[in-house]
């Protein structure tokens, strides 16, 4: 096994049981790369910690509908296990919003003897609120010598291994459901971010559009749309919103009969796909007389594991500091 290089898979993290929902939400909402305010840190943490505790009870009901936990943690761990022999190197993991896992993850990174650690985000499109947040987390908590070892794959929105994996995923799904491409709408739904993030230089929107254009190009007979989901709080977010797009499908659907929602910014299924798309968005489409389906994310498909291996081998790494947001709020 290669001892000069190790790999580090980083992901969002998700509650492994209902007891982890509150700490998960607290870590998420207190992250100032995600929720940007001018509040002093102590007030920001107190205020959003309170919101997290209030939301935890309601969201627990949503998690119960998908089995009482998010599969994203388990998929990430299994992905690392399967990647290791393909890369002939150790593959570590980090889950940003699972505080209970942080001590072990940071210890593993600190103790890693490899000369270089290549970081592979499971976020195909870059945002300072995802990959950038994790880069900041490591800068603030790892020893400087370990931070210098980290070489980041910033993103891979148009890499042929990622695009090819989603093309295969969609193609397989259309065959499985016996759907004709010329009668199908492919509604690509990415997680939204506040519009202000983009106005201050975040690349996320342009990279989502890049992924969409490269993928829909493989389905010339389908009608494609890109939208953004999961808006939280006040203010303008990236448009069009997925829920509004779903409500108006009859207006722009051009006589198609079925809709497949594709989670183009997600590599693993979790609450935003299993509950939000399945339980909130698909019914809006079906109410208008369409057949509506959720295409699964890439999850543990063998071609995706092999695709990640290709991405890791073919993509140059960046220093941690290059991924951290430095502009004022």
Domain 5-156+304-323 matching CATH 3.30.390.50: the answer reads no
Six token digits for residue 315? 């993509």
Q: How many CB atoms lie within 10 A of CB 140?
A: 9
- Is residue 329 very low, low, confident or very high in pLDDT (cuts 50, 70, 90)? very low
Proportion of the chain above pLDDT 70, given as a percent: 98
Residue of 239, 248, 9, 244 whose CA lies nearest to 122:
9
In the predicted model, is pLDDT for residue 138 greater than 70? yes
- What is the pLDDT, as a whole number, of residue 2? 65
In the predicted model, is pLDDT for residue 22 greater than 90? yes
Please check whether the two domains, 5-156+304-323 and 160-294, share a CATH topology.
Answer: yes
DSSP letter for each residue of 245-262: HHHTHHHHSTT--EEEEE
Question: Phi-psi category of 317—alpha, beta or left, where left has phi over 0 and alpha has psi -120 to 50?
Answer: beta
In the predicted model, is pLDDT for residue 94 greater than 80? yes
Six token digits for residue 291? 């057949």
Proportion of the chain above pLDDT 90, given as a percent: 95
Question: H/E element holding 117?
Answer: strand 116-121
- Is residue 305 very low, low, confident or very high in pLDDT (cuts 50, 70, 90)? very high
- What is the pLDDT, as a whole number, of residue 233? 84
Q: How far is CA 148 from CA 118, 128, 131, 318, in A?
A: 11, 19, 17, 10
For 173-226, how does the pLDDT look when each residue is reduced to its tens digit (9 = 90+)? 999 999 999 999 999 999 999 999 999 999 999 999 999 999 999 999 999 999
**Residue range 274-299: mean pLDDT, rounded:** 98
Domain ranges of the chain: 5-156+304-323, 160-294
Average pLDDT, the chain: 96
**Residue range 103-116: mean pLDDT, rounded:** 97
**CATH number for the domain formed by residue range(s) 160-294:** 3.40.50.1400
**Residue range 291-299: mean pLDDT, rounded:** 98
- What is the pLDDT, as a whole number, of residue 234? 85
């Amino acid at each position: 096994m290669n001892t000069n290089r190790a790999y580090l898979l980083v992901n969002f993290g998700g509650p492994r049981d209902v007891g982890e929902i509150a700490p998960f939400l607290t870590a998420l909402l207190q992250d100032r790369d995600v929720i940007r305010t001018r509040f002093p840190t102590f007030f920001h943490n107190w205020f959003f910690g309170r919101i997290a505790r209030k939301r935890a009870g309601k969201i627990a009901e949503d998690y119960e509908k998908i089995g009482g936990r998010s599969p994203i943690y388990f998929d990430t761990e299994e992905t690392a296990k399967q990647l290791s022999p393909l890369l002939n190197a150790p593959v570590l993991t980090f889950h940003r919003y699972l505080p209970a896992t942080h001590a072990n993850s940071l210890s593993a990174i600190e103790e890693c003897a490899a000369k270089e650690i290549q970081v592979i985000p499971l976020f195909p499109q870059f945002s300072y609120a995802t990959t950038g947040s994790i880069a900041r987390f490591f800068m603030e908590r790892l020893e400087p010598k370990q931070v210098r070892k980290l070489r980041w794959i910033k993103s891979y929105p148009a890499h042929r291994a990622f695009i090819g994996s989603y093309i295969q995923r969609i193609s397989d799904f259309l065959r499985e459901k016996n759907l004709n491409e010329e009668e199908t709408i492919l509604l690509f739904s990415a997680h939204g971010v506040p519009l202000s993030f983009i106005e201050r230089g975040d690349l996320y929107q342009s990279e989502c559009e890049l992924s969409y254009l490269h993928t829909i190009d493989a389905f010339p007979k389908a009608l494609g749309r890109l939208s953004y989901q999961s808006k939280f709080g006040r203010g303008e977010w990236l448009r069009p919103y997925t829920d509004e797009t779903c409500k108006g499908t009859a207006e722009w659907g051009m006589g198609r009969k079925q809709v497949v929602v594709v989670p183009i910014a997600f590599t693993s299924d979790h609450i935003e796909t299993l509950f939000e798309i399945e339980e909130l968005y698909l019914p809006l489409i079906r109410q208008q007389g369409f057949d509506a389906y959720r295409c699964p994310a890439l999850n543990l498909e063998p071609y995706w594991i092999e695709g990640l291996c290709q991405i890791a081998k073919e993509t140059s790494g960046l220093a941690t500091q290059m991924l951290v947001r430095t502009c004022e709020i």
